[in-house]
Structure 1
Amino acid sequence: MLLMPKRDWQWGYNETHGVLSVSLGDDMEFLSAYKLKTLIPDAKEPMEFSVEHAKFYIDLVDRLSKSLALNDALIVQIALNATAAHFLLKPQMPKSWFFNVSHQCVYSEVGKLFQLTTSEHTVLAMVIESGLQASLVMIMSVECRLTDTKKLKQFETIKVMHDRLAPLPIQKQVNAA
């Protein structure tokens, strides 16, 4: 069953785990993938899960439910991490140099899935914030190795220019992640 936002949902910082969390009421807490150094200063203090946050989350859950063959728990996990990243992460500068240029023109929009290709592999990414020339994407694959010493884990974010976003092959759109 998909979790839908309630009035008692609240953002907070979980000191024990060192990450942003969402209190879902009834002694349930969702731990995001985001550590303090990546968060805006306000994220350290308790904050309501606002109507704007709820709308973003619900729209994303709806889009993911229609486009991916995933269980409800994973859809909720993806949508909550994406909502946290969209609203509570510090702004980033593009770091497109890690990825190859795509030779196909794409239209970037929130919730859309793309491939990013490094010199070694291809990963699945979802747009969580789209700008005129670049998008903030969340890594959907288990990890994305950028260099020998730098890698992104699932749900971490990176901003890339739109020319790095490659469309998914048709079969991946159904069985992603």
Structure 2
Amino acid sequence: MLLMPNKDWQWEYNEDYKQLSISLGSEMEFLTPYKTKALIPDALITSEFSVDHAKFYINLLETLPKVINMSDAAVVQTALNATAAHFLLKPQMPKSWFFEISQECVYCEVGKLFNLNANGTRVLVMVVENSLQAALVMVLSKECPLSESKTLQQFETIKVMHNRLNPLRKAQLVVAA
């Protein structure tokens, strides 16, 4: 079952874990992976889950099951983390040097899935914010190795130039005449 936003939802900063959370009513709290240093100042105070946040979240709830096979719980978790990343993370500079250049030109939009090639590892990512030349992407794979000492975990974000995004390969259908 997919969680739909309501007037009781609000962003909160969880002091115990030092992470952003979303209060989903009186008895449920969703803890995002985003820590203090990555958050804008407004994320550190309680604020409403606005209409814009709800539209973004609902759009992802509708889009994700069409492009990737995941459980309802995983769809909700991904959509909530992407909404938090889109609205409440500090701006980032591109760090494209960690990834190989793609041999294909891609059309980039929020919610679209791509692969990044990092040190010989293919990593699944989703665009959470798009600009003219770069995109903020959220890691959907379990992890994304950047170097021997640095690895991004699932749901962490990184900004990359569009020329690093590789389209997903779909199984080609063979039509017999």
Q: Is this a same-fold pair by TM over 0.5?
A: yes
Name the counterpart of 2:159. 159
Between the aligned partners of 1:105 and 1:78, the Cα distance in structure 2 is 26
- Cα offsets for 1:133-153 (capped at 9, x unmatched): 000000000000100111100
* Partner in structure 2 of residue 42 of structure 1: 42
Q: Rg: which structure is higher? A: 2
Q: How many residues align?
A: 171
Q: State the TM-score, normalized to the length of structure 2.
A: 0.95
Which letter maps to 1:140?
L
What percent of counterpart residues are identical? 63
Partner SS state of residue 128, structure 2: strand
Aligned to 1:142: 142
Cα distance in 2, alignment partners of residues 142 and 57 from structure 1: 22
* Map of 2:79 onto structure 1: 79
Q: Could you say which residue in structure 2 is the equivalent of 1:132? A: 132
Match of 1:175 in 2: none
Aligned to 1:52: 52
CA–CA distance in 2 between the matches of 1:153 and 1:86?
17
1:112 paired to 2:112: yes
Q: Give secondary structure in 1 for the equivalent of 2:30.
A: strand
Tell whether 2:53 aligns with 1:24: no
Contact 2:119/2:145 (8 A) holds in 1: no
5+ long unaligned stretches in structure 1: 172-177
Displacement of 1:118 in angstroms is 1.4
Moved more, 84-93 or 11-20: 11-20
Whole-angstrom distance in 2 between the partners of 1:65 and 1:14: 30
Q: Mark the runs of 5 or more structure 2 residues left unpaired by the alignment.
A: 172-177
Q: TM-score scaled by structure 1?
A: 0.95
**What is the Cα deviation at residue 120 of structure 1?**
2.7
Cα deviation, 1:58-107, whole Å, max 9, x if unaligned, reads 00110002222111000000000000000000000000000000000100
Runs of 4 or more above 3 Å deviation: none
